[in-house]
Amino acid sequence: MYPSPGVVERIGPDWDWIWIDSQHGQIDYSDALALVRACNLVGVKAFVRVAGHERGPIAVALDTGADGIIVPQVENADDARAIVKAAKFPPLGERSYGARRCIDREGRLYVEEANIRTEVICQIESPDALERAEEIAAVPGVDGLFLGPDDYMLRQGLSMNTPRTEETLGEAFEKLMAACKQHGKKGMAVGIGDGVPQLCSRLGYHYIVGGTDVSFLANTSTTKSAELRKALEASANPTATSDGKPSFY
């Protein structure tokens, strides 16, 4: 979510792939390029989520040398076909040739393997889209489907505080993965919530989200600050401010 290649350098090796969010994160093209480079440095896959279906942003995201793109709010097979046209080179699609970084690193013939090596993941975010998951997965050039749990739950009238569990999302996860398996495509899911990682594993999902830089930072900061406050308050001679409370940073 945050444009910090240093974070990828430091904690990226803990993971198998990194989701670079150019839709809701604070990330522009230059940031995405730097983050993809950091992923290359530590040897993990980089997926860039683009902001929409427009050809320009899709091509630019792939020009960074990313391993794939995640495209939000794919509602039907027509959406998927248009995305494939933007993301894949001829004869499968109509992506423009000339990615500077890809040519610099791999030579002009990178194009011959690009359609296989770069993955197009269509994000399913509504009940209607989930009903059409099979037809979306059937589109040639679509490499996988990703259930967007927040928007899916929101469109069912559920609060964003509703726990993500097998009871609330299990049926949707099963339906999406069934569509993927039927057409030989990969499944991507957010594996956060009580029993959700185990569910994703049982169903055969290929890519499972384990958390975000935001949550890692916030959760650790909250825990450590609480520990320090407790330690200072237990001290016989704490450093104090004018109101008598321990002060630290």
Distance CA 121, CA 245 (A): 51
Banded model confidence at residue 236, pLDDT cuts 50, 70, 90: low
Tell me the CATH class for 5-211.
alpha beta
Strand order in the sheet with 45-49: 17-21, 45-49, 68-71, 119-124, 144-147, 186-190, 207-209
| Average pLDDT of the residues of the chain | 94
**60 to 46, 49, 94, 100, 185: CA distances (angstroms):** 14, 12, 14, 10, 24
In the predicted structure, residue 244 carries a pLDDT above the cut 70:
no
Question: Taking each helix axis from N to C terminus, what angle separates 166-182 and 196-203, rounded to the nearest 10 degrees?
Answer: 20
Residue 241: per-residue pLDDT: 60
pLDDT in tens, 65-122: 999 999 999 999 999 999 999 999 999 999 999 999 999 999 999 999 999 999 999 9
Mean predicted confidence (pLDDT) in 39-54: 98
Active site residue 206: no
The angle at the Cα of 217, spanning 216 to 221, to the nearest 5 degrees, equals: 115
Positive or negative torsion for Cα 232, 237, 243, 248: negative
Q: What is the pLDDT of residue 8?
A: 97
Could you tell me the two tokens for 176?
């999406």
Q: Quickly state the pLDDT bin for 242 (edges 50, 70, 90).
A: low
